[in-house]
């Protein structure tokens, strides 16, 4: 009788171990879902109008994610409120990985701070998939301003506080924030003239009515090629590929100045971690594709690779860096 009980006990232990091993091999239900993901089309929201640089990079990435994931990745433009409308729509979507948003990291991170009552989301409502590209901007001036170096611009601005103006694509846009950082570190007073978009600022910039801008490569490169603008420096940590003769702003006498535009792919919060990892994998594979690399390179963008956790860290770093500056400026968009 004792031997029979021992046999039963051993059989029970063996059955439990076998079941546990099977569970480990099968993984969690979320792991199983992620292995098959995606099984239907993915909507990729661009929170700006079609045809802009963010839209163009989204379409380049979506094309390759479609081919590697086996399901269409459909770009949908939902513009408004500096990117907050499209991001909020994503935050409200089902957390299943089938609705994503692509945005500038800074715009994504700061919108809830700048629009506390109307952004419609918080950073905690979202799950970062990956920060996938970055670029410097150009500090450009109209030829009529008569300056050819950053030092000359600073000297002119200090001699006439508030008399030299700079353009931007709107309050808290990247060109605006890049200029505000320059003002703070260089100790100058420049007048801000916001426009409804970067293209709207071009005539006044070129003609010298608003003679300074911290312009993206997409805007600046054609105008520099035609000698309609003069580039004084680049805003990044290092010199730009193809423009190695042009110094950084930090090299030009403004120590500590670094302003780079980075771009992030984001999902709704509570999206299962295995699905986020699968999306990150599809994103990383798209960044290895020569066509994607070429498309981003034409926009002046350098590809980046990181994990979802590292992308979250980059978002938090942006928040920490800019919260003090925005507080000093008392900058709110509502």
Confidence category of residue 17, pLDDT binned at 50, 70, 90: very low
Q: Looking at the predicted structure, is the pLDDT value of residue 133 above 60?
A: yes
**Tokens found for residue 86:** 């499209």
Query: Using an 8 Å Cβ cutoff, are 191 and 165 in contact?
Result: yes
Over 80: is that where the pLDDT of 97 sits? yes
Is the four-CA dihedral 36, 40, 41, 44 of positive or negative sign?
Answer: negative
Confidence of residue 8 (pLDDT cuts 50, 70, 90): low
Choice between 53 and 319, residue whose per-residue pLDDT is larger: 319
Give the list of residues 6+ apart from residue 43 with CB closer than 8 angstroms, or none: 74, 76, 98, 99, 100
Q: Is the pLDDT reported for residue 169 higher than 90?
A: no
Full-model pTM: 0.79
pLDDT given at position 328: 77
Supply the CATH classification number for the domain 40-134+260-329.
3.40.190.150
Domain ranges of the chain: 40-134+260-329, 138-234
Q: Is the pLDDT of residue 28 over 60?
A: no
C-alpha of 60 from chain center: 15
**Cα–Cα distance between 239 and 230 in angstroms, integer?**
16
Which neighbouring-strand residues pair with 265?
102, 130
The answer to whether the beta carbons of residues 311 and 131 sit under 8 Å apart is yes
The overall average pLDDT reported for the chain is: 89
Is 23's pLDDT higher than 60?
no
Does the structure show a pLDDT above 60 at 14?
no
**Whats the size of the chain, residue-wise?**
334
The pLDDT value recorded for residue 31 is 63
Alpha-carbon gap, residue 301 to 53, rounded angstroms: 10
Whether 9 shows a pLDDT value over 70: the answer reads no
Angle at which helices 217-225 and 198-207 cross, to 10°? 30
Question: H helices then E strands: how many in the chain?
Answer: 12, 11
Rg (C-alpha) for the chain, rounded Å, is 25
Task: Give me the pLDDT at residue 322, please.
Answer: 87
State the pLDDT at residue 290: 94
Structure tokens at 144: 């009529």
Is it the case that residue 2 has pLDDT exceeding 60? no
| Per-residue pLDDT at 127 exceeds 80 | yes
Burial of 238 (0-12, 13-18, 19+ CB in 10 A): middle
- First CA to last CA distance, the chain: 81
Pairing of strands 165-168, 191-194: parallel
> What are the beta bridge partners of residue 274?
none
Checking if the pLDDT of 312 tops 50, the result is yes
Query: What confidence category does residue 52 fall into, taking pLDDT thresholds of 50, 70 and 90?
Result: confident
Closest CA relative to residue 87, chosen from 52, 51, 117, 47: 47
Residue 331 pLDDT exceeds 90 = no
pLDDT, mean of residues 33-47: 90
Distance of CA 109 to the CA centre of its chain: 9
CA within 13 Å, CB half, 62: 22
Is it the case that residue 284 has pLDDT exceeding 50?
yes
Q: Domain 138-234's class?
A: alpha beta
d(CA 88, CA 115): 12
Same CATH topology for 40-134+260-329 and 138-234: the answer is: yes
Highest mean pLDDT, choosing among 119-133, 169-183, 193-207: 119-133
Which helix or strand (DSSP H or E) is residue 262 part of? strand 260-268
Q: What is the rounded CA–CA span in Å between residue 321 and residue 302? A: 22
Whether 126 shows a pLDDT value over 60: the answer reads yes
Whether the CB-CB separation of 267 and 95 falls below 8 Å is answered with yes
Q: How many other CB atoms sit within 10 Å of the CB of residue 239?
A: 16
Answer whether residue 25 shows pLDDT above 70: no
């Amino acid at each position: 009788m004792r031997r029979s009980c021992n046999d039963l006990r051993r059989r029970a232990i063996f059955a439990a171990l076998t079941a546990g091993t099977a569970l480990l091999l099968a993984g969690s239900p979320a792991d199983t879902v992620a292995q098959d993901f995606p099984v239907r089309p993915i909507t990729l929201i661009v929170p700006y109008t079609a045809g802009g640089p963010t839209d163009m990079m989204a379409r380049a990435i979506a094309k390759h994610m479609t081919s590697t994931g086996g399901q269409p990745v459909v770009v949908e433009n939902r513009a408004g409120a500096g990117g907050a409308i499209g991001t909020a729509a994503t935050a409200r979507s089902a957390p299943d990985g089938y609705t994503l948003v692509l945005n500038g990291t800074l715009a994504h991170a700061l919108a809830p701070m700048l629009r506390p009552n109307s952004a419609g989301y918080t950073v905690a409502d979202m799950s970062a998939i990956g920060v996938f590209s970055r670029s410097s901007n150009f500090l450009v001036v109209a030829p009529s301003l008569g300056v050819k170096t950053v030092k000359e611009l600073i000297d002119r601005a200090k001699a006439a506080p508030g008399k030299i103006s700079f353009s931007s694509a709107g309050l808290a846009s990247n060109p605006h924030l890049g200029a505000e950082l320059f003002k703070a570190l260089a100790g100058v007073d420049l007048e801000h003239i916001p426009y409804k978009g970067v293209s709207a600022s071009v005539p006044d910039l070129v003609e010298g009515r608003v003679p300074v801008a911290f312009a993206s490569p997409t805007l600046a490169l054609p105008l520099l090629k035609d000698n309609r603008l003069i580039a004084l420096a680049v805003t990044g940590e290092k010199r730009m590929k193809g423009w190695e003769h042009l110094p950084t702003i930090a090299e030009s006498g403004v120590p500590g100045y670094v302003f780079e535009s980075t771009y992030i792919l984001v999902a709704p919060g509570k999206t299962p971690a295995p699905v986020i990892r699968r999306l990150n994998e599809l994103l990383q594979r798209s960044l290895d594709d020569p066509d994607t690399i070429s498309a981003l390179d034409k926009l002046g963008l350098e590809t980046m690779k990181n994990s979802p956790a590292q992308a979250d860290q980059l978002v938090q770093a942006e928040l920490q860096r800019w919260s003090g500056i925005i507080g000093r400026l008392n900058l709110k968009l509502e």
